[in-house]
Amino acid sequence: MRPRDLVTGLADLVLGARCPGCGRPAPGACEQCVAGVVAVRPFPVPGLPSGLPPVLAGGWYDGELRQLVLAAKEREALGVVGLLGGRVAAAAAAWLLATGHGGPVVLVPVPSSRAGVAARGLDLPWALAGAAAARLRAAGAAASRWRGLRLVRAPRDQSELGRGERLANLAGALRGVARPPDGVPVVVDDIVTTGATLAEAVRAGSVAGWVPGAAAVVAATPLRGGAR
């Protein structure tokens, strides 16, 4: 028996531990899910509002990746933040390679509400930006994270809203902070659906005097039936 198999078996026996991606017995994300997630090549997200900078995703918000993001959001699998942050880093790296930009880059996470952080015990975009910056630095790229956006009002839940409603819901919700660190700002979020949140982030940054060069997200929601 391989050491990894032994750890998996013991974790299932003692803890009832399951991979948050697929439900197999594992002390965290299993080898199959990790391999499947990292095998996806980052891609530009299609169908977003005009006026946005390039938006790149580390995968589709579907299957195992969707389950991993949900588990991290609900504090059920905080150990996968590094894996998800790696998807943000891969998306940012793909933009750097495509543009020939040598850096440095400043990762600017979309801010979470205080209520959301209190409920989850985690500011997920901030944690993702930290993990992504560390991965980029390990690869030789100059990268940092910065709280360049502030939430000035809490928008209502967006899960049932269409694109136009989301844009209206988020209008004016963010404020940009002036004087970013040296580097090109890259907005970071966990998921992009309609692009409304990223559009508000770009607006707020531009008003504060800095324009994001790109946005990098863990996953993009597949468009289905034109509803989004």
Statement to judge: residues 29 and 45 lie in one domain: no
Q: Decide: pTM greater than 0.75.
A: yes
Statement to judge: residues 15 and 57 lie in one domain: no
pLDDT value at position 227?
Answer: 33
pLDDT value at position 125?
Answer: 95
Statement to judge: residues 19 and 48 lie in one domain: no
Q: Is residue 225 part of a domain?
A: no
Statement to judge: residues 58 and 84 lie in one domain: yes
Statement to judge: residues 131 and 189 lie in one domain: yes
pLDDT beneath 70: ranges in the chain: 1-16, 75-78, 154-172, 223-228
**Four-point Cα dihedral 123, 194, 221, 150, nearest 10:** -10
Q: Is residue 176 part of a domain?
A: yes
Statement to judge: residues 62 and 148 lie in one domain: yes
In sequence order, which residues have a C-beta less than 8 Å from that of residue 202 and are 6 or more positions away? Answer: 51, 52, 53, 187, 211, 212, 215
pLDDT value at position 9?
Answer: 46
Statement to judge: residues 91 and 155 lie in one domain: yes
Which structural domain, as residue segments, surrounds residue 12?
Answer: 1-39
Give the whole-angstrom CA distance, residue 7 versus residue 73: 26
Total structural domains within the chain? 2
